[in-house]
């Protein structure tokens, strides 16, 4: 690498560091309410980002900083208030900013990666060989990690630099010593570290309670794999999650709905207001809220009646419904709760109480939904939900006149992997590809495990040519991963078939066309991407 290239990379890293300051300020909104000091902090951090980007000629960061400036200008014009549109725009800009921390030399473009953490993850396991193995796995996915062999080595590293997150064996350097070490480390910190505990053995409730008291956010037992660990670390460090909650407010009173909307917007929550309850199902399908706030008494229908209608649709069975009403009769409130509601708030309500209730309910709902619609091994969407997402995305693409592609991916010679190396290695390869796809595709793309070693990807706003280009780049990079094994390391490839949605075809036919293209890729020698063309019939 030339001196000029090294200098350029150094400048780029300076800009990325400044970008992270913007991200950290944005994260505070997820835990608090919008105010002048917060707005000032975001404006100051963004101004520094823009100045650094211009100085070091980082065009992408400059463009994003200008976009954030525009949003802050809109907020000023709105007398310091956030709106749902502004939150959505800011969220998208912040997400794009989060994805700019690419490893230099990696391709940029539509298939940008989730950025590697600027700080390493510290791995402190009793089994040092296992710890080094976890480090190598994480490095496959651009996450810097460091393993420690002793208490003194770990403390020295902590004195030198704090990690992005800490993975601690409860028995690191002795029975129960890891718990005590982690607790002592956390006590001296103003801002607690994301802490994940591990135990080789199954643990009892007292042990887990001690881990919680020591600051543990998660507890792994038996084994640790990179994909599960990386997913948890990303959640706890918020490197890839900037999606605000979405709340549908159904209230015939425009004044009350507007008030509720402003309270939630100022907490960084995206809202949509509906004054015509009869249109609720249409709005639900389009907006896909995390939670519904429902007035109990409305002219066209009772809130309890509408709740029953909503619950009749399988897709909305688990969406929390909070009644917000002036009704103070406890018996009537309980009756309403029995009619499809999850909570009952009485008007007038303190803004802080409303915000806390919405955040808590929405967070739990997202967690529950993830368990229902996601595959347990990979964390990707399951077969049924993948098809539902394809149906939704196809409807939007047809309505907006935008392109859409559907890709089917199949790991090559997967049966041989299981037969030769065993099912644990097969599971590891599947999880590895799942994580690869999550890292290297856009947030707007939907990735699912179709079944076994097959994956499905919905690519909105993407034509066939670009879809083939994006997936083919992932294919090349995935083939470079080596999994430690005996007698030689294992590497795997995949084949892919892609079809583009056309006005005259159904989603069912689209999936069939992608499957046909996948067959062509397999039949053509595997380890390749094939696009469907009518001549393939």
Condensed to tens digits (0 to 9), the pLDDT of residues 362-401 reads: 988 887 877 778 887 888 899 998 998 999 899 889 988 9
Same domain? For 363 and 407 the reply is: no
Question: What CA–CA distance (Å, rounded) separates 275 from 285?
Answer: 17
Q: What is the pLDDT of residue 7?
A: 58
Same domain? For 250 and 231 the reply is: no
Question: What CA–CA distance (Å, rounded) separates 311 from 316?
Answer: 6
Question: Which H helix or E strand runs over 231?
Answer: helix 226-237
Q: Cβ atoms within 10 A of the Cβ of 13, count?
A: 14
Same domain? For 318 and 360 the reply is: yes
> What CATH number corresponds to the domain at position 455?
3.30.70.270
Condensed to tens digits (0 to 9), the pLDDT of residues 242-279 reads: 578 999 999 988 889 999 999 999 888 999 998 888 88
Q: 386: number of CA atoms within 13 Å, CB side? A: 24
Indicate whether 111 belongs to any domain: no
Domain boundary among 237, 257, 285: 237
Does 140 have pLDDT greater than 90?
no
430 CB-near residues (< 8 Å, 6+ apart): 377, 378, 411, 449, 453
Same domain? For 67 and 156 the reply is: no
Same domain? For 364 and 395 the reply is: no
Does 130 have pLDDT greater than 90?
no
Indicate whether 110 belongs to any domain: no
Q: Give how far the C-alpha of residue 504 lies from the chain's centroid of Cα atoms, to the nearest Å.
A: 33
Q: Which of 28-42, 306-320, 520-534 has the lowest mean pLDDT?
A: 28-42
Sheet holding 454-460, edge to edge: 446-451, 454-460, 404-411, 494-500, 529-531
530 CB-near residues (< 8 Å, 6+ apart): 495, 496, 497, 498, 517, 518, 520, 521, 524
Which of 173, 144, 164, 166 shows the shortest CA–CA distance to 217?
166
DSSP of 401-446, one letter per residue? T--EEEEEEEETTHHHHHHHH-HHHHHHHHHHHHHHHHHHS-TTSE
Which of 113, 279, 289, 123 shows the shortest CA–CA distance to 195?
123
Same domain? For 257 and 186 the reply is: no
Q: Give the CA angle between residues 304, 306, 309 to the nearest 5°.
A: 115
Same domain? For 138 and 201 the reply is: yes
How is residue 186 written in tokens? 């956390």
Query: Is residue 239 within 8 Å of residue 286, measured between CB atoms?
Result: no
DSSP of 233-294, one letter per residue? HHHHHTSS-----EEEEE-S-HHHHHHHHHHHHTTT-EEEEES-GGGHHHHHHHH--SEEEE
Indicate whether 116 belongs to any domain: no
- Give percent above pLDDT 90 in the chain: 34
Q: What is the pLDDT of residue 113?
A: 35
Does 117 have pLDDT greater than 50?
no
Domain boundary among 322, 349, 372: 372
Which domain covers residue 45, as residue numbers? 3-98
> What CATH number corresponds to the domain at position 347?
3.40.50.2300
Indicate whether 114 belongs to any domain: no
Same domain? For 387 and 516 the reply is: yes
How is residue 328 written in tokens? 């103070």
Q: What is the pLDDT of residue 110?
A: 32
Condensed to tens digits (0 to 9), the pLDDT of residues 469-504 reads: 999 999 998 888 887 777 777 889 999 999 999 988
Q: What is the pLDDT of residue 454?
A: 94
DSSP 8-state symbol, 12: H
Same domain? For 387 and 530 the reply is: yes
Identify the three-state secondary structure at position 344: strand
Does 104 have pLDDT greater than 60?
no
CA-only gyration radius of the chain, Å: 25
Query: Average model confidence (pLDDT) for the chain?
Result: 84
**pLDDT class of 114 with cuts at 50, 70, 90:** very low
Q: What is the pLDDT of residue 111?
A: 32
Query: Is residue 340 within 8 Å of residue 304, measured between CB atoms?
Result: yes
Same domain? For 145 and 222 the reply is: yes
pTM above 0.75, yes or no: no
Same domain? For 307 and 347 the reply is: yes
Number of domains in the chain: 4
Indicate whether 339 belongs to any domain: yes
Backbone φ and ψ of 247, nearest 5°: -125, 130
- Give percent above pLDDT 70 in the chain: 90
Same domain? For 397 and 493 the reply is: yes
Q: What is the pLDDT of residue 226?
A: 67
Indicate whether 203 belongs to any domain: yes
User: What would the mean pLDDT of 193-215 be, rounded to a whole number?
Assistant: 89
267 CB-near residues (< 8 Å, 6+ apart): 29, 32, 33, 34, 355, 358, 359
Indicate whether 155 belongs to any domain: yes
Does 108 have pLDDT greater than 80?
no
Domain boundary among 315, 345, 372: 372
End-to-end CA distance of the chain: 49
Does 2 have pLDDT greater than 60?
no
Indicate whether 275 belongs to any domain: yes
Condensed to tens digits (0 to 9), the pLDDT of residues 251-261 reads: 988 889 999 99
């Amino acid at each position: 690498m030339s001196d000029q290239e090294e200098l350029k990379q150094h400048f780029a890293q300076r800009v990325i560091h400044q970008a992270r300051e913007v991200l950290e300020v944005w994260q505070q909104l997820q835990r608090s309410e919008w105010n002048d000091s917060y707005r000032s902090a975001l404006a100051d951090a963004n101004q520094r980002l823009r100045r650094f980007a211009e100085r070091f000629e980082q065009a992408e960061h400059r463009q994003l900083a200008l976009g954030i400036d525009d949003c802050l200008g809109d907020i000023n014009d709105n007398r310091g208030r956030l709106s749902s549109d502004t939150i959505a725009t800011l969220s998208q800009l912040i997400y794009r900013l989060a994805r700019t921390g690419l490893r230099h030399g990696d391709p940029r473009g539509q298939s940008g990666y989730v950025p590697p953490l600027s700080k390493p993850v510290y791995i402190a396991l009793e089994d040092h060989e296992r710890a080094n193995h976890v480090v190598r796995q994480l490095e496959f996915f651009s996450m810097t990690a460091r393993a420690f062999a002793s208490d003194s080595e770990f403390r020295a590293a902590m004195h030198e630099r704090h990690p992005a997150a800490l993975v601690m064996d409860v028995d690191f350097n002795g029975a129960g010593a890891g718990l005590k070490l982690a607790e002592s480390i956390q006590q001296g910190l103003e801002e607690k570290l994301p802490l994940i505990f591990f135990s080789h053995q199954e643990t009892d409730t007292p042990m887990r309670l001690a881990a919680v008291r020591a600051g543990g956010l998660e507890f792994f037992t038996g084994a640790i794999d990179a994909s599960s660990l990386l997913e948890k670390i990303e959640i706890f460090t918020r490197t890839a999650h900037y999606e605000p909650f979405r709340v549908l407010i159904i209230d015939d009173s425009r004044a009350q709905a507007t008030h509720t909307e402003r309270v939630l917007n100022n907490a960084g929550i995206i809202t949509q207001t509906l004054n015509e309850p009869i249109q609720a199902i249409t709005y639900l399908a389009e907006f896909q809220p995390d939670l519904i706030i429902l007035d109990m008494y409305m002219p066209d229908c009772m809130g309890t009646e509408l709740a029953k209608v909503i619950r009749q649709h399988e897709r909305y069975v688990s969406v929390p419904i909070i009644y917000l009403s002036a009704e103070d009769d406890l018996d009537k409130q309980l009756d309403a709760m029995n009619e499809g509601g999850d909570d009952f708030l009485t008007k007038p309500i303190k803004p802080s109480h409303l915000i806390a209730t919405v955040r808590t309910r929405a967070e739990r709902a997202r967690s529950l939904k993830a368990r229902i619609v996601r595959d347990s091994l990979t964390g990707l969407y399951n077969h049924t939900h993948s098809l539902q997402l394809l149906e939704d995305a196809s409807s939007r693409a047809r309505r907006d006149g935008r392109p859409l592609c559907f890709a089917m991916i199949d790991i090559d010679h997967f049966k041989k992997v299981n037969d030769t190396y065993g099912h644990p290695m097969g599971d590891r390869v599947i999880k590895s590809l799942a994580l690869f796809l999550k890292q290297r595709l856009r947030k707007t793309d939907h990735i699912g495990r179709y079944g076994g070693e097959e994956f499905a990807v919905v690519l909105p706003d993407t034509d066939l040519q670009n879809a083939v280009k994006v997936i083919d780049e992932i294919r090349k990079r995935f083939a470079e991963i080596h999994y430690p094994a005996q007698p030689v390391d294992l590497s795997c490839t995949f084949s892919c078939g892609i079809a583009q949605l056309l006005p005259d075809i159904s989603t069912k036919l689209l999936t069939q066309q992608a499957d046909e293209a996948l067959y062509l890729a397999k039949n053509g020698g595997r380890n390749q991407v094939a696009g469907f063309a009518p001549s393939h019939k």
